[in-house]
């Protein structure tokens, strides 16, 4: 081979190598840099329920009653935690007749009681969600009923409308809840949310705001609603006043109790 041919072949080889280097650098520049190893976030801190009912903090919690000079008494810490625990379970909306989602009533017949809240520590976010559920769903166990007549009234549009009943914007009935219990499905009444949930015109609920819509016949807005059929005057008095205080047989206390009882009997009748 002549020297000129050898030089030409050498030049072509160098050119090919240079081309390969250029292409290699180009592709390596386009490729993504290796990802840095990620560190998982630390687990959320779990918070347990404080023992809020205790003799120390309740000793001076209430101011003395004017004119008596004594403080209202409470259950002691031992009495409080020794008491029976109610069947606190999840509850579900009562819909105005004709406004129930399809199959809702049938599903309720097979719904098992589910604890409203379970014990144990939670993260702060989980406690907030649990608190919201309790606020929105907790009922008053003493008012639960399986009375067939009351349930038939709640499920009859004609009977409900005769009492002034009407649906809220979302189709539900304010104040009433369906409560699946160990004894079967019962009709109950809302606790916190009955007075402290504002129903907005678009059907959404504003928790914590006062309820200001017209009575719908369920909670006794006119004094003769469904809930009134559940309890007589004396029963309502016990619920409103309670009877657990240890102020002693003071004549001033007796006069206050008697006057208040008369006032509430008149309102109940």
Q: Model pTM?
A: 0.64
Instruction: State the total domains in the chain.
Output: 2
Q: What is the pLDDT of residues 205-218, one digit of tens each?
A: 888 888 776 655 55
Interatomic CA distance for residues 157 and 68, integer angstroms: 52
Kindly state the helix (H) or strand (E) to which residue 174 belongs, with its residue range. Answer: strand 172-181
45 and 123 Cβ atoms separated by less than 8 Å: yes
As a whole-number percent, the residues of the chain with pLDDT over 90 amount to 29
One domain for residues 266 and 168? no
Show the DSSP H helices in the chain as ranges: 3-30, 55-58, 77-82, 104-109, 124-137, 148-154, 157-162, 192-195, 226-230, 233-241, 251-268
154/248 same-domain check: no
Give the residue numbers spanning the domain of 170: 87-119+138-223
pLDDT digits (tens, 9 = 90+) for 108-165: 999 999 999 998 899 999 999 999 999 999 999 999 999 998 899 889 999 888 877 7
**180 and 219 within one domain:** yes
Contacts 24+ apart (CB under 8 A), 34-38: none
Examine the domain organization and report whether 149 and 261 are in the same domain: no
What's the residue count for the chain?
A: 269
User: Are both 168 and 246 inside the same structural domain?
Assistant: no
Predicted local distance difference test score (pLDDT) of residue 89: 97
Residue 269 vs residues 96, 218, 235, 241: alpha-carbon distances, Å: 28, 18, 12, 17
**Same domain flag for 212 and 257:** no
Residues 6+ apart with CB under 8 A from 140: 188, 189, 190, 191
Q: What does the angle CA 102 – CA 181 – CA 74 come to, to the nearest 5 degrees? A: 130
The share of the chain scoring above pLDDT 70, in percent, equals 65
For tokens 């649906």, name the residue: 167
Q: Which residues pair with 198 in a beta bridge?
A: 206
CA dist 47 and 122 (Å) reads 5
pLDDT tens-digit profile of 20-40? 555 555 555 555 556 667 787
- How many Cα atoms occupy the beta-carbon half-sphere of 52 within 13 Å? 2
Is residue 268 over pLDDT 50? no
Sheet with 172-181: list strands edge to edge. 92-95, 172-181, 184-189
Whether 219 and 235 share a structural domain: no
- CA 61/CA 77 separation, integer angstroms: 14
User: How far is Cα 57 from Cα 64, in angstroms, rounded to an integer?
Assistant: 15
Task: State whether 211 and 249 are in the same domain.
Answer: no
4 Cβ partners below 8 Å, 6+ apart?
none
Judgement on whether residues 201 and 246 belong to the same structural domain of the protein: no
* 268 shares a domain with 209: no
């Amino acid at each position: 081979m002549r020297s000129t041919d050898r030089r030409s072949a050498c030049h072509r080889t160098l050119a090919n190598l240079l081309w390969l280097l250029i292409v290699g650098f180009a592709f390596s520049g386009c490729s993504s840099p290796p990802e840095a190893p990620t560190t998982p976030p630390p687990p959320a801190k779990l918070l347990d329920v404080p023992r809020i009912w205790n003799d120390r903090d309740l000793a001076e919690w209430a101011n003395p009653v004017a004119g008596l000079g004594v403080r209202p008494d409470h259950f002691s810490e031992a009495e409080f935690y020794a008491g029976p625990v109610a069947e606190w379970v999840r509850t579900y909306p009562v819909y105005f007749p004709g406004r129930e989602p399809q199959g809702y009533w049938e599903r309720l017949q097979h719904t098992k009681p589910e604890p409203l809240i379970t014990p144990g520590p939670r993260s702060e976010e989980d406690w907030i969600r649990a608190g919201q559920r309790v606020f929105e769903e907790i009922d008053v166990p003493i008012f639960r009923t399986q009375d067939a007549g009351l349930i038939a009234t709640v499920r009859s549009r004609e009977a409900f409308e005769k009492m002034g009943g009407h649906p809220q914007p979302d189709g539900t009935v304010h104040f009433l809840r369906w409560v699946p219990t160990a004894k079967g499905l019962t009709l109950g009444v809302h606790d916190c949310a009955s007075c402290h949930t504002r129903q907005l015109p678009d059907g959404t609920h504003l928790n914590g705001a006062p309820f200001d819509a017209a009575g719908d016949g369920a909670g006794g807005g006119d004094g003769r609603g469904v809930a009134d059929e559940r309890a007589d005057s004396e029963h309502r008095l016990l619920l409103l006043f309670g009877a657990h205080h240890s102020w002693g047989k003071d004549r001033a206390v007796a006069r206050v109790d008697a006057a208040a009882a008369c006032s509430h009997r008149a309102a109940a009748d």
